Amino acid sequence: MAGQPRSGCAINAAVEVIGDRWSLLVLRDIMFGNRLHFRVLQEQSEEGIASKHPRRSVAAPRRGGSAYAGGCRQGRRSTYSLTEAAIELVPVMAELGRWGAHHRPTTPTLRVRAELLADGGPAMWEDFMTELRAEHLGMHVPSRSGPTATERLASAYAALAADADH
Amino acid sequence: MAGQPRSGCAINAAVEVIGDRWSLLVLRDIMFGNRLHFRVLQEQSEEGIASKHPRRSVAAPRRGGSAYAGGCRQGRRSTYSLTEAAIELVPVMAELGRWGAHHRPTTPTLRVRAELLADGGPAMWEDFMTELRAEHLGMHVPSRSGPTATERLASAYAALAADADH
């Protein structure tokens, strides 16, 4: 994790770690898009994300990946897992998405997951975080009936993405 | 407001407007600290905020202030009001503060308002936004018993700040 924050303020402390735009968008892509490879993060980026690896404190290289120790080529092949700290950014992502959908021009396909997550509120955020912990940290997910939060987000996106293609 | 976002994503749209660290900290200071003058924002900044005016879309010069039209001296004397869009960032601030207080080193005095706001949840956020609309947009606040959200935040901070001074 980065060094001592500039001040003892909790909001400042958060934005010092995640406040640069690219870091947050890379985390978004890992979180929602399941894009675990850095190469894919770059190539499929909606915003043309530059070649910038996420911070070690929020996304850790896995399966022997060596984004920080290795060279550039190795870096592009690395695979990321979200850390617990990154997973706990789900509520921040939900509130940012709610705000963006309300105050800025967006497209239905790229807005629908943010809206679904914002409207789902803390109960859905908890489900989504539990599922991300299973995917990224190998933790156990208690079985439950009905689609998971991950599935609900993915199918809402897929339905609109299919429409947009026709 | 800034031009067209780079993508139609709601999260990207939000971070394009508020994702630079200084903008968010200036909004925080206007929101929590009631620092309406740009000079005070600079001089009392915990983080040594550079001489950067907030974006017009989230903080508007008021009472004839001309931060954008005027020169540097005039700019430093300008007074800001939060816009409706900025006021609706309260839930984002609350979730950022919750995350920062949990995951980064912070100090009790500069953390207490973030914790109080996060723990207060959507009901307190609504109250605080209503009060900010009264202060910054001149809207009517329905009278109610007990301290306002603004007062609760200010007194929690004042109690710890007084301790820290002794």
Q: Predicted confidence band at A64 (pLDDT cuts at 50, 70, 90)?
A: very low
Distance between CA atoms of residues B69 and A53, nearest Å: 39
Q: Higher-confidence residue: B72 or B38?
A: B38
Q: Predicted confidence band at A113 (pLDDT cuts at 50, 70, 90)?
A: very high
Q: Higher-confidence residue: B128 or B69?
A: B128
A147 touches chain B (CB under 8 A): no
State residue B117's pLDDT score: 96
Q: Which residue of B has its CA nearest to A14?
A: B100
Q: Angle at CA A15, nearest 5°, toward A9 and A16?
A: 85
A126 touches chain B (CB under 8 A): no
State residue B46's pLDDT score: 66
Question: Per the structure block, which two tokens stand in for B50?
Answer: 């550079």
Distance between CA atoms of residues A34 and A135, nearest Å: 10
A73 touches chain B (CB under 8 A): no
Q: B80 with B54: CB under 8 angstroms?
A: yes
Query: Is pLDDT of A67 > 50?
Result: no
Q: Higher-confidence residue: B85 or B23?
A: B85
B85-108 residue pLDDT tens: 999 999 999 999 999 999 999 999
For residue A85, which residues of chain B lie inside 8 Å, CB to CB? 99, 103
User: What pairing do the DSSP bridges indicate for beta strands A59-62 and A79-82?
Assistant: antiparallel
Quick one: residue A130, left, alpha or beta (phi over 0 = left, psi -120 to 50 = alpha)?
alpha
The predicted complex's ipTM stands at 0.81
Query: Is pLDDT of B112 > 90?
Result: yes
Size of interface A-B (CB pairs under 8 A): 189
Q: A160 with A109: CB under 8 angstroms?
A: yes
A145-161 residue pLDDT tens: 899 999 999 999 999 98
The answer for B 90-109 residues in CB contact with A (under 8 A) is 91-109
The beta-strand segments (E) located in chain A are: 59-62, 79-82
How far A96 CA lies from chain B's nearest CA (Å)?
A: 6
Give the residue from B103, B112, B153 with the most A CB atoms within 10 Å of its CB, the best one to mutate.
Answer: B103
**Which of A7, A47, A101 lies closest to B10 in CB terms?**
A101
Q: A75 with A90: CB under 8 angstroms?
A: no
State residue B67's pLDDT score: 33
Domain boundary assignment for chain B: 10-83, 88-164
What residue type is A13 in one-letter code? A
Buried b or exposed e, range A67-81, using 16+ CB within 10 angstroms: beeeeeeebbebbbb
